[in-house]
Structure 1
Amino acid sequence: MVNLSLHTRLLAVASIVLLFFFGLTGLVLDKAFRDSAESGVRERLQTQIYVLLAAAEIDAGIMLFMPDELPDPRFSITQSGLYAQVVDNRGKPVWRSRSLLGSAFPVTDPVDIGQSRFTRTKLADDSGVFVLGYGVSWLIRNTEQRYTFYVATSLDSYLAEIKQFRRSLWVWLVAAAVVLLALQGAILRWSLRPIRQAEEALAAIESGEAETLTGIYPKELQGLTNNLNQLLVSSRAQLKRYRDSLGNLAHSLKTPLAVLRSATEKETDIAAIRKTTQEQLDRMSQSVDYQLNRAAASGSMPLTAPVAVKPVAGKIVGALKKAHRDREVAVSLNIEDPVRFFGNEDDLYEVLGNLLENAFKWCNKTIHVTAHNISVPETGRKKLELIIDDDGPGIAEADRELVLARGKRGDETVPGHGIGLSIVVEIVELYGGVISLAESKAGGAAIRIEF
């Protein structure tokens, strides 16, 4: 199949529709003009019938008589194109105009009195004519005599008129079609210009000349171009996170490796070496977990389907209850089914998993989880507001700023909240959200997230 451009496809379809429309218009106008022309011929012939009726007389009261000179001189000129004939009720001619000399009307059935019959036929000399017959009756010697008056006109003038009209009609229609096709092509080219502009912008991005789609686009394309720009920004941000995480991981492993090298070279006590090795391995494991989780966070990604929050929270709570089966923890999920998270499902699992794991670790008996969607008027999008509170010891107000500090590595976090809460902070900031700590009604920690 030939891969045609949108411009070519639209122009081809528009051309076919336009040509079909003009062709149909031409046929309709041609038919209307022919009908109008035939109606005009009929009216003129009807007028001639009335002229003949006015001139007819009854000679000596016994027979129909037509004068030699009629109002229209064409009746007296041979082959003038205007002919007349009168026949009786048996179809026998009783009078013919001089113009009909050497020819005759074809014999037809008489026309009813007061009625007319308009036909297209041929004379005896094979010339085409329009014929109008009109039936009348005369009272002659108290006897009704029926006659049919026929008037005919040549088709030559009618056909010439039709030919001239068709020539003018199709010349104008073709000229109009050419102009409209040219105009349609220009309009399509102008209308599709934003698509070509977007194509050029994408080519500039591929060649490294630009980082995002630039320019002003119509509202039909704004959603697409905005999402593509967000996708490009998110992809670059994620790539940067991967690189930064690898660099941070390499940096964070230098110290533990140096300590291990020093212990193996200088330490002679096996127990001390084991202790040092275990400490540094734990530290290295924390650093690896932290940096991998930080790099895996997706952040706000366009063109992704929203995630239902309640099923995710239910799965995490079920898993944590099994892990803490020795404790009777009551978890209240105040989450309606329509509540959605407009982001990556793995990020939602990471945030809820870390927060609920901390809540299970520090609570006494109860945990409350509340979630609902809020609208952002500036962007027209929706965000998720998530509140998790427990009845544990809580977080001292003096420590809250330290707990939420950015850039903490595995060996710099607060015990009990460290890596997990640091990852939550990273993910929330990737979505442009906010996180805050407060005291719950039960005296424990209350964490509110909007992202």
Structure 2
Amino acid sequence: MRSLSGRLRIAASVVLVAFLGLTGLSLDRAFRDSALAAVQDRLQAQLYLLLGAANLDAFNRLTLPQALPEARFSTPDSGLYADVMDSPGNLVWYSPSLLGRALPFFPAVRSPGDTQFAPLESSDGTPLLVLAFTVSWEIDRSHYQIYTFRVAENRQNFDDQVWSFRRGLWGWLLASTAVLLAAQGLILRWSLKPLRRVAAEIKAIETGQRSTLSSGYPAELQPLTMNLNALLGQSHAHLERYRNALGDLAHSLKTPLAVLRGTLETGAEPAELRQTLAEQVERMNRTVDYQLQRAAASGRIALSAPLPVAPVARKILDSLAKVYAERALQFNSEIAAATVFYGDEGDLLEILGNLADNACKWCQRQIVVRAYPADHGGRMELVVEVEDDGPGIAPEQAPLLLNRGQRADPSVAGHGIGLAVVRDLVEEVYYGRLEIGHGTLGGARVRAQLRFQANGG
């Protein structure tokens, strides 16, 4: 059974039918016991009437009057019967209604006050409900006689009453089951409507009729739909980034290629040709590096686990300590263990690595890396700060350094694309901000604010 709706309908139907079935059996058993107790109470009342009417004759024999309080005892085959037996089991008296039949054998009740109630059959096979009661009758002050009074009622009335109740009970229960199953089906259909809507919208996305899932889903489905939209958005962003990177790369390579072609066509001197070739190859190399790093950015990852920032920063600083070992730089990491990043580890390495490497090139001796969460208008951000104790960056020069190929000092090694790559990652991929300012150590402080929300929201 692959249908969720089918599973729910079958499970709910089985539970409903089982519940109503057990309810019906319980009610049937309760009514039967109640009706049986009512019969026993009626027979008990009739038995007390017989005890009240019984008396001893002149020979100390138990007798009952011909006209009994209950007229059915005097009517043959009336459905109500009675007799009296002595302790040896001899029949002392029987009601006229027993004409032509006899009550079935009943185990003798020997102790006065004992009562027995049981379903039995008369001598002609008529089903009966029989109540027997034993009394000790005083003959004189020193003599007592044991008598057993038996009263019976035709069981047909009891069976008819139980059958009538069962017919009404199970009829209503079946009708209730049909109504409840129909209502249950409507409720399930209404409850599962959002799932059918998700399936229909996903199919529309597959056919290209829509690009994202709509909003307004129940709270239980919102994490699913939000993460699916995040995955779709991430996929579209990656594809768009690749397309833009290829277009930009092709456009950027046109100029150096045109320069090389023009130099070759003009028949320049070998020295001039080598210089032009070296310049344009370096230019193309920077362009390719920049576009490849830009296209490789993964961005926020939907359904991603939080990535601890401190271990990533420590890995970068340890690597830089080895690269710049001859300068004996001091690296300080001020990142709490609970600080996390929702995104690709490669992007975080690219941002921290470029900022820290840039600080190593300009610092005197000390570099500080910080990372902490911040709330920006109800949306969580990760703030990354890297500062050094170098000469710093003038405010008017800061915007220029964020452009590809720009360097504050040409004598310092590098391609001039590090801050540009970081800027693209921060602003285009994580929709944040990159700022260059003055730090507490006296040098430059570069601050990257990366916007994110847990689980790709």
TM range (shorter): over 0.9
Structure 2 distance, partners of 1:165, 1:413, is 97
- Equivalent residue number for residue 167 of structure 1: 167
Distance 1:29 1:376, change over 3 A: farther
Structure 1 distance, partners of 2:261, 2:438, is 45
- Equivalent residue number for residue 309 of structure 1: 309
- Equivalent residue number for residue 326 of structure 2: 326
Q: 1:20 aligns with which of 18, 26, 32?
A: 18
Structure 2 distance, partners of 1:202, 1:274, is 57
Aligned partner letter, 1:243: R
- How far is the alpha carbon of 1:440 from its aligned partner? 1.3
1:115 paired with 2:120, answer no
Alignment RMSD: 1.7
Worse-superposed segment, 193-202 or 170-179:
193-202
Aligned partner letter, 2:264: T
Task: Count residues with an aligned counterpart.
Answer: 443
Structure 1 distance, partners of 2:160, 2:440, is 101
> Over residues 203-245 of structure 1, what are the superposed CA-to-partner deviations in whole Å (9 max), with x where a residue is unaligned?
2222222222124211111121122222222221221111111
- Equivalent residue number for residue 65 of structure 1: 63
- Equivalent residue number for residue 145 of structure 1: 145
Worse-superposed segment, 364-373 or 255-264:
255-264
> Over residues 52-97 of structure 1, what are the superposed CA-to-partner deviations in whole Å (9 max), with x where a residue is unaligned?
0111011116111111111111112222211101111222211111
Mapping for residues 93-242 of structure 1, pairs under 5 Å: 93-105=91-103, 106-142=105-141, 143-242=143-242
Structure 2 distance, partners of 1:301, 1:98, is 97
Structure 1 distance, partners of 2:88, 2:42, is 27
> Over residues 375-434 of structure 1, what are the superposed CA-to-partner deviations in whole Å (9 max), with x where a residue is unaligned?
45634xx43121111101111111123334xxx444x56556831101111111121212
Structure 1 distance, partners of 2:59, 2:199, is 97
Worse-superposed segment, 187-196 or 119-128:
119-128
- Equivalent residue number for residue 448 of structure 1: 447
Aligned partner letter, 2:132: G
Distance 1:169 1:324, change over 3 A: same
Aligned partner letter, 1:63: R
- Secondary structure in structure 2 of the residue aligned to 1:45: helix
Worse-superposed segment, 433-442 or 29-38:
433-442
- Secondary structure in structure 1 of the residue aligned to 2:42: helix
Contact 1:62 1:141 in 2 (8 A): no
- Secondary structure in structure 1 of the residue aligned to 2:220: helix
- Secondary structure in structure 2 of the residue aligned to 1:152: strand
Structure 1 distance, partners of 2:274, 2:377, is 58
Structure 1 distance, partners of 2:172, 2:370, is 73
Contact 2:245 2:292 in 1 (8 A): yes
1:33 paired with 2:31, answer yes
- Secondary structure in structure 2 of the residue aligned to 1:418: coil
Aligned partner letter, 2:32: R
- Secondary structure in structure 2 of the residue aligned to 1:220: coil
Contact 1:135 1:146 in 2 (8 A): yes
- Equivalent residue number for residue 454 of structure 2: none
Worse-superposed segment, 169-178 or 215-224:
215-224
Structure 1 distance, partners of 2:187, 2:349, is 51
Structure 1 distance, partners of 2:214, 2:177, is 38
- Secondary structure in structure 2 of the residue aligned to 1:275: helix
| Structure 2 unmatched runs, 5+ | 451-457
Aligned partner letter, 1:131: V
Contact 1:135 1:147 in 2 (8 A): yes
- Secondary structure in structure 1 of the residue aligned to 2:325: coil
Contact 2:74 2:97 in 1 (8 A): yes
- Equivalent residue number for residue 438 of structure 2: 439
- Secondary structure in structure 2 of the residue aligned to 1:124: coil
Structure 2 distance, partners of 1:316, 1:194, is 47
Q: 1:45 aligns with which of 21, 37, 43?
A: 43
- Equivalent residue number for residue 392 of structure 2: 394
Structure 2 distance, partners of 1:387, 1:409, is 21
1:427 paired with 2:451, answer no
Distance 1:117 1:376, change over 3 A: farther
- How far is the alpha carbon of 1:22 from its aligned partner? 0.8
* Off by >4 Å, runs of 4+ in structure 1: 412-417
Mapping for residues 330-345 of structure 1, pairs under 5 Å: 330-345=330-345
Structure 2 distance, partners of 1:331, 1:69, is 120
Worse-superposed segment, 222-231 or 102-111:
102-111
- Equivalent residue number for residue 257 of structure 1: 257
Worse-superposed segment, 164-173 or 413-422:
413-422
- How far is the alpha carbon of 1:268 from its aligned partner? 4.5
Q: Percent identity?
A: 48
- Secondary structure in structure 2 of the residue aligned to 1:126: coil
- Equivalent residue number for residue 296 of structure 2: 296
Distance 1:75 1:213, change over 3 A: same
Structure 2 distance, partners of 1:417, 1:152, is 114
Contact 2:286 2:415 in 1 (8 A): no
- Secondary structure in structure 1 of the residue aligned to 2:160: helix
- Secondary structure in structure 2 of the residue aligned to 1:367: strand
Contact 1:439 1:445 in 2 (8 A): yes
Contact 2:109 2:115 in 1 (8 A): no
- How far is the alpha carbon of 1:111 from its aligned partner? 4.8
> Over residues 136-185 of structure 1, what are the superposed CA-to-partner deviations in whole Å (9 max), with x where a residue is unaligned?
11110330111111101011001111111111111100000000000000
- How far is the alpha carbon of 1:47 from its aligned partner? 0.3
Worse-superposed segment, 172-181 or 98-107:
98-107
Structure 1 distance, partners of 2:270, 2:250, is 28
Contact 1:111 1:133 in 2 (8 A): no
Contact 1:59 1:65 in 2 (8 A): yes
1:287 paired with 2:287, answer yes
Structure 1 distance, partners of 2:343, 2:415, is 24
Distance 1:263 1:377, change over 3 A: closer
Structure 2 distance, partners of 1:409, 1:443, is 26
